[in-house]
Amino acid sequence: MAQSFLMEVCVDSVESAVNAERGGASRLELCSSLLEGGLTPSLGLLQVVKQYIKIPVYVMIRPRGGDFLYSDQEVEVMKKDIELMKTQGADGVVLGALTEDGRVDANLCMELIAAVRPLPLTFHRAFDMVHDPAVALETLISLGFERVLTSGCDSSALEGVPVIKRLIDQAKGRIIVMPGGGITERNLQRILEGTGAEEFHCSARSSRDSAMKFRNTCVTMGATISAPEYGLKVADVSKVRSLNAIAKNTL
């Protein structure tokens, strides 16, 4: 019997990519800096990930953290990144852009879609920052996006279940609405049952200690609120398998 659901795992390292595939992920979202919600990964990361795994890799195109209102120079960077990622075997692209009044930036999205073709396209969680999700969904459908990733415009997909369900009902199969944001083994069943979603997005990560023996605890490489210097978060094979099993039993 064909699998009736699809699990996408967001990863920011080769190790996480390999673990996600081993655990049963159907697709990867490849990015850097998951602490900032995911930014454009390096070409080197994409190249090496493609050497090690067989499942599709969708690449995040997001030039910086923060909002989704982009300058002309940032758009140049996004277009160049799309061009380069396509040459290195990206299977799909994940992006999003908004206007200053919280609408999907249809004009910019059309430019970026032209650069992405013929690869499939996901609109990322910029969707959760829109003024009117129902209107935004129709815009994405008219633009030709394959799917939209959303937490239901709430702090997590669990909190956003009512909105996600309304969006899936509204979509009527014209676009895939994929829940994401804080999905764990503890809440996945409730999210799938409550929304009727057939795809979901998670990171399935666990923490592990750095192998460094010498440690200078006085120095941090980033801002005050940053990841610990001597801790790593990596996709966990057992968590991916567990989420896979929950989805299989639910759907």
Q: Does 54 reside within a domain?
A: yes
* Structural domain includes residue 187: yes
- The pLDDT of residue 228 is 76
1, part of any domain: no
For residue 232, pLDDT over 90 is answered with: no
Looking at residue 224, what is its pLDDT?
Answer: 58
Nearest alpha carbon to residue 82 among 41, 34, 49: 41
Q: Which of 31-45, 102-116, 212-226 has the lowest mean pLDDT?
A: 212-226
pLDDT digits (tens, 9 = 90+) for 120-178: 999 999 999 999 999 999 999 999 999 999 999 999 999 999 999 999 999 999 999 99
The answer as to whether 115 is a domain residue is yes
Task: With a cut of 80, say whether residue 73 has pLDDT above it.
Answer: yes
- CATH at 193: 3.20.20.380
pLDDT for the residue 35: 85
Q: Helices then strands (H, E): number in the chain? A: 8, 10
User: Does 83 reside within a domain?
Assistant: yes
Query: Quick one: pLDDT at residue 3?
Result: 54
Judge whether 169 lies within some domain.
Answer: yes
Does residue 131 lie within any of the structural domains?
yes
pTM for this predicted structure: 0.94
Which single residue is written with the structure tokens 């160049």?
A: 80
Average pLDDT taken over every residue of the chain: 94
Handedness of CA 65, 191, 1, 242 (dihedral sign): positive
Question: Measured between alpha carbons, how far is 190 from 66 in angstroms, rounded to an integer?
Answer: 30
Please write the tens of the pLDDT for every residue from 193-206.
999 999 999 999 99
pLDDT at position 2: 42
How many structural domains comprise the chain? 1
Residue 105 belongs to a domain: yes
Contact 216, 193 (CB under 8 A): no
User: In which domain, by residue range, is 16 found?
Assistant: 6-250
Please determine, for residue 1, whether its predicted confidence score (pLDDT) is greater than 60.
Answer: no
